Structures are given as structure tokens and as C-alpha cells.
A = this chain, B = another copy of it.
């Protein structure tokens, strides 16, 4: 028997409709790409999003067609999302930090018909324009006065382009499972893979984000998403903020400490979200100039693990730190580290211990840890295994990749290795391709690296598994000493001794001038594995 409730599909444009209706005067403040700080409202944004929809419709963009955006966090960028999705087209966010060839590859794979971009990215797009034949026109997010000369095909200034229509337009109606947005993940190996979000998944994710223990901002809050719109939906904030009527502050292209501080301070921001690099720059700027942020309540930090010292710095300022973990494939929120009631009274190191974990899954994210055979492992905070996830805002397949990515229970393997404790708090211990499998037991490369960098003469450390005739794999520790410093194998091993289990101790230590990194700053372990693929451990000879 079916329930008798109304058929009201979960469509993203209903969010901006709600914001315009109930929170119409609430502001979106932007540091524009042109320079000045500009202000608009949710009511105004909805009107302009409708013009985008109408203009795209006139351009012949149909249900399912892909429209790319390569742009900073601005109100203009945000309104194009609602405009694109509101006619059932797919908003494809492209990361401008990728290499030009990767950008071209992704645009070709998605077959984007229109590219909407900022002034900043015209040069890189001009470089690849000849290699992306699907693109019919480029729309530059600026006005006539700032529009430069460009060789880009049918290039037009955004303000001129939307001025061609009157905004007398209605959103299209379609099923909630219709594709709404697309974002490619680029690993260190293989081609980028497209995640295809639906209207339903975007709306459900925003509801999840707005619960008090996830992001949890309200209509009285002001949110500054430093995390880019091109990075996994800016953690869904362009949907969750208007759904609640939260005022938004968009940082545009300037993400340095001084610029972010200025906006946080002048706009009295209460919630902000971004990666550790940004917070490091902010904290350094604040310390140097003896600055305070009395209005700031919550900092959400994800993308990579937040150092303990940074958590402590915010905690000392009276700011609540919420560690978050997720993936493009998860829309992206997987866990958020709000304090559950049993931890609410913790202080000092005990509190930092909890805040340093990646947090727990909100309702609608189900997690498992398993061994290689798929057997579930206990949630004891110690045992670590492959982290798998299930939920309505988690990818079930990649765009045009004919490969099953879910296991027989419907779980997606995140590629991370983690522990989960009895309260559901998850801690990432490694990537599954980096974990060292020693005689059937797993050793976390990240834990060893974190320990080794604590040595005063070590600049950076990397751990990889190398072949061992008896144990299959054993850890090799690769050290980049601090400039002008010398340190020996025995120094390092002695330093580590007693701080970890005996059988976790690296079988050897080697020294390099420089540890290689990916474009996004992660250690390039594939290169290290290649470099040391024939390395013979001293223990192997025994």
C-alpha cells in the first residue's frame, strides 16, 4: 500500500525559490573578480538565475545537456548553478587548478556545450580551445566594461548575455532523479572519473548538512565558504545556505590570510568552511597582527587532516572546530566531527583527541570497515580496514564508465583505510593503496609518517611498502631532512622506538633530497614506489 502524500519532487531550484520567498532580503556578499566587494540578495539571485535559465533555453540547451563552469566562489557563479539546473541541464564544475590537458580531457569527456568562466581563466581556456570542439560558446562572468579581447568562440560578457532576456520564465519540471551536476575526480592514476549528482541527492545532502551537528548554520548565521564551488559542490553550501536563509560571503579569487580575515571580520561571519592550508594562512595573519574574530563560532575543516596545533589554536580562540571528511563521490559530506554529548565536557588534550578524528556519519551516510575479503571489522577505535559507504547522496556509478563500483551490499569503497570507535567516530589511517600489508596485518603508512616528522631534523617523511620474501611487504621509511641538517638511520629508528608496536617499525630508512608531490600537494607515492621498486630490505636477506 502506498502512502497518500503529495508528489513534490526534490528539485534544487525549489531551494532558491524558498530562499527568495522567505529570506529574500538576506545578502550574498562577494569579493568580485574585478575587485570591489559587491552585494546581492536571495530574491535578486533567484531573478537572475531565472534569466540564466531562460537564456540557456534560448541557446537551445536541453534537458541533460552539459554546461561547464570554471569559476571562483561568487554570487554570479552560484546563480548560474541554479539557472543551469533549473532547466534540467547538468552543471559541470571544472577545477581550474588542473593541468590544461586534464581540463580539455574533462570537457571533451563531458561534451560540454557552453563554458561559463571567470576573467582569470580566459588564458588557460584560449590555450585549449582548439581541442574542445563540443564547446559552442564561452560566457565570461563579467560586464561589458571589463570584457577583454579574446579568441574564445562566441565569447560574451555574462551581464550582456542575460540582459538579452526578460526573466519571464518558469523552471522546467522533471523527475527528482534527473542529473543536476557533475564533478570529475582526478586520482594519481587513470583517467578522471565523472560523478553525476541528481536533484534528489543535492537536496537530500543539503538537508543533511543543515542538521545541527553537521554544518548546522541557521538564518541568523553568516557563512563564508572558502572551499571552492568547483571542489565537490563547495561541500553543498550553495544549497544548504539558501535552504536555511543563511547569509553568504563569497571570497572570490583571494584566499590569502589577509583577504579571508577581512571578510570574516567586516561581515561578522559566524561559520566558515575550508581546507587546512587556508586556516594556516589565516591563523598566521591573525597572530602576526594580533587580530581577533569575536563573531566566528564554527570552523569546518576538511580536504585533509587538520593538524592538532591548528585545532588547538581555534579552540583557544573559543571557536568550535568541526573536522569533516568526505569525497566528491559523497556530495561530499561523509563525517563531521561535532562533539556528541558524552564528549561535551572534555577539556585539553582529551578534547583535542576527539576533535582530531574525522567525526561521525550523519543520518543518511552508512559506513563499514572491512578486511580485504569484505568481512566487517569491529568498531573498537583500533582495528582498521577498508572504509565503505552507502547512502542516497553517494555515487552508484561513474559517468560513462561501464564498471560496477558498489559491492554486493551496495557499499562504495572509499579507498581510505580507517578505524571507527564505538561512538561512530572515524579516523582515517591511510589510503588502501598505501597501507603496508605485512603478513596479513595492516600497517598505516600515515601513522609512521606522522611519527617520523616529529623528529626535529626531519622536513618530510614518506612510507611505502616494499617486497619482503617472508612478510610480502614491509615498511620503508623515506626521509627528506631539514635543509642543512644531517640525521642518521639510527637516530630516526631510536626516536620511533617505543612509540609504536615493534612489528610496525620500518625495516629500513633512506634519505632523499626531495619527496615528490601531486598537483594538490599530496605525497606522490606512485613515484616513490617506482623509484624504490627494486629496493632490497636488509631484513629480506636474512
Which residues of A pack against B, CB within 8 Å?
A: 1-8, 10, 14-15, 17-18, 21-26, 63-64, 90, 175, 177-180, 195-201, 204, 207-208, 210-213, 216-221, 243-245, 247, 331, 338-342, 344, 360-361, 363-364, 366, 390-399, 406, 410, 412, 422-424
Q: Are A6 and B406 within 8 A (Cβ)? A: yes
Q: Which of B207, B247, B391, B398 contacts A4 (CB 8 A)?
A: B398
Q: Are B220 and A3 within 8 A (Cβ)? A: no
Known A-B contacts A6-B395, A218-B212; the reply to A90 vs B1 at CB < 8 A is yes
Q: Are B1 and A424 within 8 A (Cβ)? A: no
Q: Which of B5, B24, B338 contacts A392 (CB 8 A)?
A: B5
Q: Is the interface of A mostly helix, strand, loop or mixed?
A: loop
- A23: chain B residues within 8 A (beta carbon): 340, 423-424
Q: How far is the CA of A146 from the CA of B349 in the complex (A)?
A: 50
Q: How far is the CA of A22 from the CA of B367 in the complex (A)?
A: 10
Q: How far is the CA of A397 from the CA of B7 in the complex (A)?
A: 11
Q: How far is the CA of A393 from the CA of B341 in the complex (A)?
A: 30
Known A-B contacts A22-B361, A220-B340; the reply to A2 vs B244 at CB < 8 A is no
Q: How far is the CA of A247 from the CA of B340 in the complex (A)?
A: 11
- A341: chain B residues within 8 A (beta carbon): 26, 219-221, 245, 247
Known A-B contacts A210-B211, A212-B216, A363-B244; the reply to A64 vs B410 at CB < 8 A is no
Chain B proximity of A10: nearest CB distance (Å): 7
Chain B proximity of A345: nearest CB distance (Å): 10
Q: Are A394 and B340 within 8 A (Cβ)? A: no
Known A-B contacts A211-B211, A244-B363, A342-B25; the reply to A198 vs B3 at CB < 8 A is yes
Q: Are A8 and B391 within 8 A (Cβ)? A: yes
- A7: chain B residues within 8 A (beta carbon): 396, 410
